[in-house]
């Protein structure tokens, strides 16, 4: 990091040709290099940090219940993963706190929210969407600081998509009868929502927007490592004048989540997180009559055929696995390459990897930020070590990692067998496993050889092959000649151990509605 020409940053022009033995190419007057300008000899990026002055972080936060801040009985410290700087003391929600929040949500539900007309509910959702847009820089900085993701991603992906989600569901709020003709939809009641740390505000939007659009009230628990954007969101709710108790936020770790799952006053649980915890929640709720949707892990296949545009595919592979440090449930973590293009593709990929910049999440040049937590870093290291032990070949581009904080270099494993743990288990880090195939049938067989089924990617020039593949891949989302594209109108969710239920689109309304017929 840090460019060598900061002191003499002047107009950057191409270096003059020193080799005069060949005739100079004909160039227009305008294109001719101006030799009197100083030319930088070092092309490393100068750092371009985003200022954090726009965000005010309080020293201490309580739980947001019934429109007010509830003093927490216990607190813990939330930190910045880039350097372990303590950011704030945050409440560790107890059963009693969850109880208060559920009571507030129930009261708000009965006291007008559930019977409010759809067009009135939509007004609040539109306001929230616009406020998120207005305050997006503030939210983006906070998201990167507390979660470790590069500012260019929080700024260009998380925030626009979170706002888009509220806009989208605002549009449905007064059209539910048309979304489900002849079925008389009505709200479910109080929704308990538990979200992970990889897209803190975006996952909040995915959960809160459809719930409110359908007339439910909410108790949401953010992940323990990334509570700050959800707490700032409470200020947006205040600005939007959302009636108190419609959205309540209780922070804390898995114990707080478990208390919410077990609470008798909750009618529906929506969970995004690990498959292990998801299975536990499903067991816990069996027979309770509580509604449940689960969005769990993945081990997606990103499949490249020999007729694909290779440079474009390399960009898609990089976006598929290094986006958000690979902390993505639908990450393209298993790359399947058709044998005939294996060598050129891997060479291109390795060359591309060496241009990725790992470092400060608040630097606008950063491609790969900090790993979210010490625990996640430990998990990545352990799985990577198992890959080396089992016999895979590791490649990491030369890069200097910051000394403080949690970091992991972008990694590619070749020579991977399907049985290796790195080909089976979700790593949730910037680690790609490369495998090969010869025929489309073999690609399908191998791609589906996983307990998960959240997403997949197909790279080929042939439209017919895309359709053939999409029909056979057991995955909730199949991207063709692109990867990690999201839109609020498009449903997202999994098969098998990736969970059930859909978020986004008209499908995303259903989990928050009861039907009289």
Residues of the shown chain interacting with ligand NAI in the complex, contacts defined by CB under 6 A: 194-196, 198, 221, 223-224, 253-254, 257-258, 261, 272-274, 277, 280-281, 295-297, 329, 376, 379, 426, 428
Catalytic residue among 329, 330, 426, 503: 329
Cα-Cα-Cα-Cα torsion 127, 129, 131, 133, nearest 10 degrees, comes to -150
Given a contact cutoff of 8 angstroms between Cβ atoms, the answer to whether 313 and 411 are in contact is no
Which string of b and e fits 166-202 if b means at least 16 CB within 10 Å? Answer: bbbbbebbbebeeeeeeeebebbbbbbbbbbbbbbbb
Cα-Cα-Cα-Cα torsion 106, 233, 152, 428, nearest 10 degrees, comes to -40
Q: Cβ of residue 249: shortest distance to ligand NAI, in angstroms?
A: 12
Q: Cβ of residue 186: shortest distance to ligand NAI, in angstroms?
A: 27
Say whether 295 is catalytic: yes
Determine the longest span between alpha carbons in the chain, in angstroms.
86
Residue 420 CB coordination number (10 Å): 20
| Residue 245 or 252 having the CB closest to ligand NAI | 252
Q: Cβ of residue 438: shortest distance to ligand NAI, in angstroms?
A: 31
| Residue 261 or 456 having the CB closest to ligand NAI | 261
Q: Cβ of residue 278: shortest distance to ligand NAI, in angstroms?
A: 7
The partner residues of 191 in beta bridges, in order of sequence, read: 218, 268
Closest CA to 512 of 116, 185, 258: 185
Given a contact cutoff of 8 angstroms between Cβ atoms, the answer to whether 213 and 122 are in contact is yes
Per the structure block, which two tokens stand in for 239? 């600005």
Closest CA to 80 of 154, 146, 150, 138: 146
Containing H/E element for 437? strand 431-437
| Residue 144 or 251 having the CB closest to ligand NAI | 251
Q: Cβ of residue 50: shortest distance to ligand NAI, in angstroms?
A: 25
Q: Cβ of residue 357: shortest distance to ligand NAI, in angstroms?
A: 24
| Residue 224 or 363 having the CB closest to ligand NAI | 224
| Residue 170 or 190 having the CB closest to ligand NAI | 190
| Residue 96 or 347 having the CB closest to ligand NAI | 96
Distance CA 227, CA 54 (A): 18
Q: Cβ of residue 495: shortest distance to ligand NAI, in angstroms?
A: 14
Distance CA 109, CA 89 (A): 30
Given a contact cutoff of 8 angstroms between Cβ atoms, the answer to whether 387 and 352 are in contact is no
Distance CA 230, CA 251 (A): 9
| Residue 189 or 476 having the CB closest to ligand NAI | 476
| Residue 65 or 308 having the CB closest to ligand NAI | 65
Any idea what DSSP says for residue 301? E
Q: Cβ of residue 416: shortest distance to ligand NAI, in angstroms?
A: 18
Q: Cβ of residue 35: shortest distance to ligand NAI, in angstroms?
A: 54
Catalytic residue among 295, 497, 503, 510: 295
Any idea what DSSP says for residue 242? P
Residue labelled with tokens 């507030």: 104
Q: What's the angle, vertex CA 451, arms to CA 273 and CA 369, rounded to 5?
A: 45
Per the structure block, which two tokens stand in for 137? 């820089």
**For the chain, what is the radius of gyration of the CA atoms?**
25
DSSP helix/strand/coil, 106? helix
- The tally of CA atoms less than 13 A away on the side-chain side of residue 370 is 28
| Residue 114 or 333 having the CB closest to ligand NAI | 333
Any idea what DSSP says for residue 492? B
**Could you tell me where the beta strands, DSSP code E, fall in 339-492?**
393-395, 411-414, 431-437, 455-459, 477-480
Say whether 510 is catalytic: no
Residue nearest to ligand NAI (CB): 257
Q: Would you please indicate which residues are annotated as catalytic (active-site) residues?
A: 295, 329
């Amino acid at each position: 990091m840090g460019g060598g020409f900061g002191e003499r940053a002047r107009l950057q022009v191409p270096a003059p040709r020193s080799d005069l033995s060949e005739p100079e190419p004909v160039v227009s007057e305008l294109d001719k290099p101006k030799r009197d300008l100083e030319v930088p000899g070092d092309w490393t990026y100068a750092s371009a940090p985003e200022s954090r002055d726009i965000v005010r972080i309080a020293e201490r936060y309580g739980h947001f219940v019934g429109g007010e801040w509830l003093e927490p009985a216990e607190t813990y410290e939330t930190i910045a993963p880039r350097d372990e700087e303590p950011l704030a003391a945050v409440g560790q929600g107890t059963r009693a706190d969850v109880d208060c929040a559920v009571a507030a949500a129930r009261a708000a539900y009965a006291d007008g929210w559930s019977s409010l007309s759809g067009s009135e509910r939509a007004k609040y959702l539109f306001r929230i969407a616009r406020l998120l847009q207005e305050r997006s820089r503030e939210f983006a900085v906070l998201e990167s600081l507390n979660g470790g993701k590069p500012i260019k991603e929080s700024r260009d992906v998380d925030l626009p998509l979170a706002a888009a989600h509220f806009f989208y569901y605002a549009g449905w709020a007064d059209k539910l009868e048309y979304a489900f003709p002849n079925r008389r939809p009505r709200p479910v009641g109080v929704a308990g929502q538990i979200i992970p740390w990889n897209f803190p505000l975006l996952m909040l939007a995915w959960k809160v927007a459809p719930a409110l659009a359908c007339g439910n009230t909410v108790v949401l628990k953010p992940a323990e490592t990334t509570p700050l954007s959800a707490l700032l969101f409470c200020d947006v709710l205040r600005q939007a004048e959302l009636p108190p108790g419609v959205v309540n936020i209780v922070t804390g770790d898995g114990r707080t989540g478990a208390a919410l799952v077990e609470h008798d006053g909750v009618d529906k649980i929506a969970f995004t997180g690990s498959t292990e915890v998801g299975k536990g929640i499903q067991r816990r709720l069996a027979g309770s009559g509580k509604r449940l949707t689960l969005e769990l892990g993945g081990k997606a296949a990103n499949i490249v055929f020999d007729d694909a545009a290779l440079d474009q595919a390399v960009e898609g592979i990089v976006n598929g696995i290094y986006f958000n440090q690979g902390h993505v449930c639908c990450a393209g973590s298993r790359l399947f390459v058709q044998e005939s293009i294996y060598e050129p593709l891997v060479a291109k990929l390795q060359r591309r990897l060496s241009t990725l910049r790992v470092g400060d999440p608040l630097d606008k040049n950063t491609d790969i930020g900090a790993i979210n937590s010490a625990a996640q870093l430990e998990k990545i290291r352990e799985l990577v070590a198992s890959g080396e032990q089992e016999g895979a070949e590791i490649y990491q581009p030369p890069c200097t990692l910051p000394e403080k904080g949690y970091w992991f270099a972008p990694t590619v494993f070749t020579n991977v067998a399907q049985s290796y743990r790195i080909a089976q288990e979700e790593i949730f880090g910037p680690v790609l496993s490369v495998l090969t195939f010869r025929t489309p049938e073999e690609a399908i067989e191998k791609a589906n050889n996983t307990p998960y089924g959240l997403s997949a990617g197909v790279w080929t020039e042939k439209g017919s092959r895309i359709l053939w593949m999409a029909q056979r891949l057991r995955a909730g989302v199949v991207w063709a000649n692109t990867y990690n594209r999201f839109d609020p109108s498009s449903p997202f969710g999994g098969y098998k151990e990736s969970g059930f239920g859909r978020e986004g689109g008209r499908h995303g309304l259903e989990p928050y509605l009861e039907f009289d017929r």
